[in-house]
Amino acid sequence: MNRIKEVLKDKGISQTWLAEKMDKSYPTINEYARNKRQPSLEDLYKIAEILQVNAKDLLVDSENKIGK
């Protein structure tokens, strides 16, 4: 599971924009965002760099800790 969709929404960035920056197709990014497909580690780090977040933030919601 990833949080790509949530991070894009929080930053006001479209999936289309990310697809262009990643040189990937929109359907690929959309599958990542809907958790229908997981990005490779290389792509995950590239997404994090483009969105200017820590890669961990794309995987774990630091505000919703286990046991809350």
CATH number at residue 37: 1.10.260.40
Q: How far apart are CA 21 and CA 42, in angstroms?
A: 14
Query: Residue 68: what pLDDT?
Result: 42
Asked whether the predicted pLDDT for residue 65 surpasses 80, the reply is no
| Cβ-contact 32, 39 below 8 angstroms | yes
Domain annotation covers residue 46: yes
| pLDDT interval class at 62 (50, 70, 90) | low
Whats the size of the chain, residue-wise?
A: 68
Q: How far apart are CA 21 and CA 35, in angstroms?
A: 20
Query: Residue 46: what pLDDT?
Result: 98
The percent of residues in the chain predicted with pLDDT above 90, rounded, is 84
Total of domains in the chain: 1
Q: What is the mean pLDDT of residues 49-60?
A: 93
Q: How far apart are CA 27 and CA 38, in angstroms?
A: 13
Domain annotation covers residue 41: yes
